[in-house]
Amino acid sequence: MSDARDLTEKIQHHDPVLVACVVFQTHEPELLIQKIHEAITSIAAQRPASPVIPEINSLRSVPEDPWLRHSEAAAYLGVSKSTLYHYSSGEQIERRKLGGRLEYRRSALDHFKQAHTLPASCRAASALIIASAHSSGK
């Protein structure tokens, strides 16, 4: 029963665990159980210096960059779906089409927002008023 507790502790601590099911037909089950126990004990005693599959660990550190559907992307940008389609068809924003459905990467939407955001101006409000034309009569 201590093996089951060890397995439970490894799962709770997110250590890599391999679970396998093997069927043997034997006339000497006690001998088979002894050999399996010896093999498991031997394997458990060996601790590899580095992970067996290093790519798995590196995938965990990659930040998630989800793809949003067209309506979700329009809501995320705060524009109508037709405006987003206009940006998309003009190739102003990265997109992909899967199964007839447009999708947008959230990082591309963030980049688009950043590129189309004007910095706040420190000029006085009176400088922004447009003077009337001389011949307008106003």
Number of domain units in the chain? 2
Q: What angle do CA 101, 103, 105 make, to 5 degrees?
A: 170
Q: Does residue 135 sit within a domain? A: no
Same domain, 43 and 72: no
Q: Does residue 96 sit within a domain? A: yes
Going by C-alpha positions, the residue among 128, 75, 68, 53 that lies closest to residue 104 is 68
Give the model's pLDDT for residue 69: 92
Full-prediction pTM beyond 0.75? no
Same domain, 43 and 73: no
Give the model's pLDDT for residue 82: 92
Write the DSSP assignment of 91-130 as a string of letters. Answer: T-S--EEETTEEEEEHHHHHHHHHHT-PPPP-S-GGGGSP
Per-residue confidence at 66, pLDDT binned at 50, 70, 90?
confident
Give the model's pLDDT for residue 131: 59
Radius of gyration (C-alpha) of the chain in whole angstroms: 31
Write the DSSP assignment of 33-68 as a string of letters. Answer: HHHHHHHHHHHHH---SS-S-HHHHHHHTSPP--EE
Same domain, 73 and 39: no
Q: Does residue 26 sit within a domain? A: yes
Enclosing domain of residue 28: 2-47
Give the model's pLDDT for residue 42: 83
Same domain, 10 and 39: yes
Same domain, 42 and 74: no
Q: Does residue 136 sit within a domain? A: no
